[in-house]
Chain A
């Protein structure tokens, strides 16, 4: 888990909170210097800070939620995998493209005693790491590696956990040349064939086809401040409003929050985050994730493989809103 010792990175809407905390520190400092007891005042201010944090984080706009979802300290796939597993061994390569994609990590973990295939987009933990990880934008090789691992899991009866956290599939020249569209399309179809339980969780940013490429499962879970979009609000604003500056408006219109997706019948379960977002208390966030994964996994294990395939088909079959009249 990322350490909290580093200097916190604050978002704009957290400013009132920062100001209040600065005041608390100042009073505490003054009190120490002058040897006066201010514990009652401090206690009062601290409970106001807690209340303020709660107010801010329970009334985030979609655009603000997007900022939390993209927070540089937000726990990543590897953070969660390590936090929820008893053991973990990362495995590499699609055996096709001649290179391993560090933007999508895969491996076998032991989860609640059981071997589980875990995979997900991997954003970097700092700037240098982010360059290596291509900011979590996977290439065709990443999607093909994911598929190879999922097929492996299916053969050995291992459930699959997919963690989604990407701005989108990599829109690069080489990615197009290597068949980005084909790689994602293939996963969409083949994930319906696998008969082991598949649980997908949006832990941060669910960016369009790049997210869906590992997003076909029996259950879709989503952290409270995560987002899942058909197109990035920036791209949507540029195309529909002809003005990339309208991204906040697009974020609102596109219905990208966990609650929106629950209402649209796409999301199965919304995972609560600690007040202040998953990055403010990553251990607590991981515990919430672990509990939800375990409960959902146990439910899915009660079905036969054929039942799981049929239910997965039905789950996606009913998505969509239209009217039928002559």
Chain B
């Protein structure tokens, strides 16, 4: 049912950021094992295996760069790393990214790919949802643009926090996007669900995403949207109307500045 192939964070960064502009942030933050969690395997071992397999510290890469020459902050989740699950590191890195966006007055783009909160860090994981949402509230208060890109799959606690908090929400074709897992919903309902349930197309139809964009057009669409949110500055000769009252449009507009 889902046909687009999954891509991982390095490739995604390459596709979105202009070449030689990408600068990674907070690469020195590593996960810990606060609960000394062990299911069929110890969390500590699981982390070590994932780190050596993916070359990543945890399930997200963050940084800043340019997209078609426009400076922006970018976070990319990586589904390979424990299903892109969100624990303390994902929460901290995304919060720092958004705080940086607020501080430097930059738009923030986060590519979501996650099964939700990471159970192995217990309630610390759940609280990351609130922490990231708090940072987004401040970013928003400063009239800055935040756009999540929902890729396959975006579910659970990620959907119930930063994935659904975009000023503009972009989704990839046929991506699974939802809060409760499909099987859980089926059990609750005790009947079969429509085939398109929890797809990007289904969410668009129900008004929960703004636009579905294929991967080949993702970069240009994000850049276009960022440009459309830059303050309108009329050319000097147009704005110079002699002996007229100044309406001072600049002071009415929120002071958006993209550096």
Contacts and interface: CB of A to CB of B under 8 A. Distances in A.
Interface of A: 169-173, 175-177, 179-182, 184-186, 188-190, 192-193, 208-209, 212-213, 215-216, 228-231, 235-236, 239-242, 250, 253-256, 260-261, 264, 266, 312-313, 316-317, 319-326
B126 A317 contact: no
A177 B207 CA distance: 10
B34 interface: yes
Bin chain B's interface residue count: 35 or more
B122 A185 contact: no
A188 B185 contact: no
A186 to B, nearest CB: 7
Contacts of B185: 171-173, 176
A317 B134 contact: yes
B180 A176 contact: yes
B181 to A, nearest CB: 8
Contact of B29 (A209, A229, A324): A324
Which 3 pairs across A and B sit closest by C-beta, in order of nearness? A171-B180, A320-B88, A181-B159
Interface stretch (B10-18, B60-68, B73-81, B89-97): B89-97
A255 B178 contact: no
A175 B180 contact: yes
Contacts of A321: 32, 34, 88, 121, 124
**B29, B180, B208, most chain A CB atoms within 10 A:** B180
Contacts of B180: 169, 171-172, 175-176, 180
19 contacts: A173-B197, A176-B179, A181-B160, A185-B161, A189-B165, A192-B134, A212-B127, A216-B133, A230-B117, A230-B157, A260-B122, A312-B134, A316-B127, A316-B130, A316-B131, A317-B134, A319-B127, A320-B89, A324-B28
B164 A186 contact: yes
Give the interface centre of B120, B160, B184 by most chain A CB atoms within 10 Å. B160
A166 to B, nearest CB: 13
Nearest to B178: A176
Interface stretch (B36-44, B213-221, B251-259): B36-44
Given A171-B184, A260-B122, A313-B134, 16 more contacts: A171-B181, A171-B188, A185-B163, A186-B164, A189-B134, A208-B157, A215-B130, A229-B123, A230-B119, A241-B40, A255-B122, A312-B134, A320-B131, A321-B32, A321-B88, A322-B92
B104 interface: no
Contact of B124 (A185, A193, A215, A264): A264
B179 A266 contact: no
Given A188-B133, A241-B39, A209 B123 contact: no
A79 B66 CA distance: 56
Nearest to A216: B130
Contacts of B162: 185
A182 B208 contact: yes
B206 interface: yes
B92 A320 contact: yes
Contact of A173 (B88, B89, B181, B189): B189
A231 B119 contact: yes
A323 B32 contact: yes
B37 A266 contact: no
